[in-house]
């Protein structure tokens, strides 16, 4: 079973927003995320997902400062069909540890 994040990204139809996921509590000391994350909508194709990157600057996510390389960011745009729907987006990323670790998380996105 994939870990579903507690956070729910809320958006309005027509918005393009950046979503961000904090991995700092899952990384060992000195470990960073690397490569290009895989980000896939689950169960539909209503969303446009782009700009899939590991963070290149410190970010504030849910009130916490997250260091470079410890978060994943991507853009999300909903379609006209998105109003009132809750979507799940699966985010897969890897670390730079000697034995690379893979993290898979589901982020929920609600369109008002």
Q: What is the pLDDT of residues 58-105, one digit of tens each?
A: 999 999 999 999 999 999 999 888 899 999 999 999 999 999 899 999
Q: What is the pLDDT of residues 21-54, one digit of tens each?
A: 999 999 999 999 999 999 999 999 999 999 999 9
Q: How confident is the model at residue 1 (pLDDT cuts 50, 70, 90)?
A: confident
User: What is the fold of 3-111?
Assistant: Immunoglobulin-like (2.60.40)
Q: What is the pLDDT of residue 14?
A: 87
Cα Rg for the chain, rounded, in angstroms? 14
Closest residue by Cα to residue 92 from 11, 33, 50, 48: 33
Q: What is the pLDDT of residue 64?
A: 93
């Amino acid at each position: 079973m994939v870990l579903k994040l507690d956070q729910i990204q809320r958006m309005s139809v027509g918005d393009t927003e950046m979503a961000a996921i904090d991995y700092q509590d899952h990384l060992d000391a000195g470990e960073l995320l690397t490569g290009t994350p895989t980000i896939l909508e689950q169960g539909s194709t209503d969303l446009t997902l782009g700009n899939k990157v590991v963070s290149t600057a410190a970010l504030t996510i849910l009130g916490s400062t997250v260091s470079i390389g410890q978060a994943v960011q991507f853009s999300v745009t909903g379609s006209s069909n998105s109003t009132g729907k809750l979507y799940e987006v699966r985010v897969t990323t890897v670390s730079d540890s000697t034995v690379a670790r893979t993290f898979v998380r589901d982020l929920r996105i609600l369109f008002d």
